[in-house]
Amino acid sequence: MTDRPIVTRIAPSPTGDMHIGTARTALFNWLYARGRGGTFLLRIEDTDRTRSTPEATDAILDGLKWLGLDWDGEAVSQFARADRHAEVAHAMMANGTAYKCFASQGDIAAFRDAARAAGTSTLYRSPWRDADPSDHLEAPFVIRLRAPRDGVTSIQDAVQGMVTVRNDQLDDMVLLRSDGTPTYMLAVVVDDRDMGVTHVIRGDDHLNNAARQAQIYDAMGWDLPVWAHIPLIHGADGKKLSKRHGATGVGEYAAMGYPARAMRNYLARLGWSHGDDEYFTDEQARAWFDLDGIGRAPARLDMKKLENLSGQHIGAMLNDDVVAAVLDWARRSGSPLPDAVALRRAVPSVKDAARTLPEVVERSRFVLQNRPIRPDDKAAKALTDDGRAMLRELTPHLQNATWTRDALEGAVGSVAADHGVGLGKIAAPMRAALAGRTTTPSVFDMMLILGREETVARLDDAA
Ligand code: GLU
């Protein structure tokens, strides 16, 4: 099976937001396939009609697209394959690995009550398993797996190692309900098999399902896929990630302004490692990603780390890509769209310090606003009498200076020296005048980008 081309998949259930755990599982599958010339498929597990919604499907498609996790071919709808699932259940009946069970809910409840009273196992043991077909009823029935009762079912998991379940702990699971619809367990196996999936990388909340699914593969004489069950993501307190830890939806992270490539880097590090590497590119991730690097302990969400990686990625992005990412973020978060041309002028001077895309906008305010600049309260504090006096003295120097960094440093430096202050003391009122903010690029960057006329006008306004 290992010489077959690699096929992985993400199989989300479309209920609610796309969870970042799902995004991480998708990323691992995508990296594994893309790094090996394989195929990465998408299956929407929409079999549960009461819980599945079209909005949730859209959120999955959008989340994957935002993250840049492109899938091959069309997304598969599990619900649309119900006939095929039923066909396999009937094939299993034909080969003797499944049977019709006519037990009613009442029969099953009575079995359990009796078992409890007798102190025996409440796992349902259907009398229909060994019934003669001539005794079958004209009544609704489910199709159950004729599961092995003796021995064990073992799966070799690429992360968890050998996982063994005693067969007497498993019941004859239902494959097809009395209304003819498949159970989740059957649908997953049939779909993975039909889609040619070679590697199933998913959350370890599905580990127990794997043994049951292995029984279905065995019943059909199908090769098992390679399973890799990855520990779930935990919050900073070590408990399973939930809303009370903060954002859990992929869309929320997009709206907070982390670029997708930073999110990929961060999610890859959540549960997988390559030596001590924290920051890496997509190319490196694809080349390095391997199942061996997946840890067995749950990874903890660490927003500081995400922010730090995000800053590094923004700094490393091409200027035009930063602009595009900012515009995409603004659209997603419903923030005002900044002027792309103005933003592009500021980006080279702000991208190294910004940790998020909204911070890029914040630091670019000096090019995004027109005169008169209205300083915010914090910045306005620097416009003291002394501060304004320095600005007044500075403007004549600037009228004559050549507009180069050296000359501007000389001009600003000499006014500061005349006042017996350091550069920081004169930079503060300049920031207030040029940007109306305290968090800005260097005053020299701002002057060079704004040009002489605009710079002098803003300083005059504030002086
Ligand atoms: N639909 C399942 C889920 O959302 C995934 C099933 C699988 O990966 O096998 O958790």
Number of domains comprising the chain:
4
Could you tell me if residue 215 is left (phi over 0), alpha (psi between -120 and 50 degrees) or otherwise beta?
alpha
Same domain, 123 and 206: yes
pLDDT of residue 3: 67
- Tell me, using a 6 A CB cutoff, whether residue 12 lines ligand 1: yes
Distance CA(248)–CA(245), nearest Å, equals 8
Same domain, 141 and 99: yes
Q: Is residue 22 part of a domain?
A: yes
90/180 same-domain check: yes
HEC profile for 340-353?
HHHHHHHHHHHCCC
Q: Indicate whether 311 belongs to any domain.
A: no
Same domain membership, residue 449 and residue 405: yes
Q: Is the CB of 206 under 6 A from ligand 1?
A: yes
Give yes or no: residues 213 and 276 share one domain: no
What average pLDDT values come out for the chain (463 residues) when binned by 10 residues?
A: 82 94 98 97 94 95 97 97 98 98 96 96 96 94 97 97 96 97 97 98 96 98 98 92 88 96 97 96 97 95 96 98 98 96 97 98 96 96 96 94 96 95 95 96 97 97 94
Q: Which pLDDT does position 16 carry in this prediction?
A: 87
Q: Please identify, by atom number, the ligand 1 atom nearest to the C-alpha of residue 45.
A: 1
For the CA of 10, the closest atom of ligand 1 is 8
- Closest ligand 1 atom to 25 CA: 8
Does residue 188 have its Cβ closer than 6 Å to ligand 1? yes
Q: How far is the CA of 214 from the centre of ligand 1 (A)?
A: 15
What pLDDT, on the 0 to 100 scale, is given for residue 36?
Answer: 96
pLDDT of residue 1: 47
* 202 in contact with ligand 1, CB cutoff 6 A: yes
Q: For the domain that residue 292 is a member of, what is the CATH number?
A: 3.40.50.620
Q: Which pLDDT does position 246 carry in this prediction?
A: 81
Give the residue ranges of DSSP H helices in 16-81: 20-34, 54-67
Alpha helices in 351-384, H assignment, sequence order = 357-363, 365-368, 377-380
Shared domain for 41 and 137, answered yes or no, is no
Q: Cα–Cα distance between 36 and 365 in angstroms, integer?
A: 44
For residue 10, what are the β-bridge partners?
Answer: 42
Domain boundary among 274, 303, 332: 303
Q: Which amino acid does the sequence have at 320? A: D
* Ligand 1 midpoint to CA 12 (Å): 5
What separation in Å is there between the alpha carbon of 274 and the centre of ligand 1? 26
Residue 327 lies in a domain: yes
**What does the chain come to in residues?**
463
335 found inside a domain: yes
Asked, for residue 2, whether it belongs to a domain, the answer is: no
Other CB atoms within 10 A of residue 385 CB:
7
**Is the domain of 137 the same as that of 14?**
no
Is residue 308 a part of any domain in this protein? no
Cα–Cα separations (whole angstroms), residue 114 to 108, 125, 176, 231, 306: 10, 12, 26, 38, 55
Q: Which residues are catalytic?
A: 243
Same domain, 381 and 449: yes
Is residue 174 in a domain? yes
Candidates 9, 81, 188: which one to mutate for ligand 1, based on the most atoms within 8 Å of Cβ?
188
Give me ligand 1 centre to Cα 22, in Å: 9
Same domain for 357 and 285:
no
Residues 207 and 87 grouped into a single domain: yes
Top mutation candidate among 7, 13, 19 for ligand 1, by most atoms within 8 Å of CB? 13
**Phi-psi category of 108—alpha, beta or left, where left has phi over 0 and alpha has psi -120 to 50?**
alpha
CA dist 40 and 6 (Å) reads 8
Kindly state if the Cβ of 443 falls inside 6 Å of ligand 1: no
Co-location of 155 and 272 in the same domain: no
Q: Give domain status of residue 309, yes or no.
A: no
Quick one: 209 and 241 in the same domain?
A: no
- Can you give the residue range of the structural domain that contains 395? 377-462
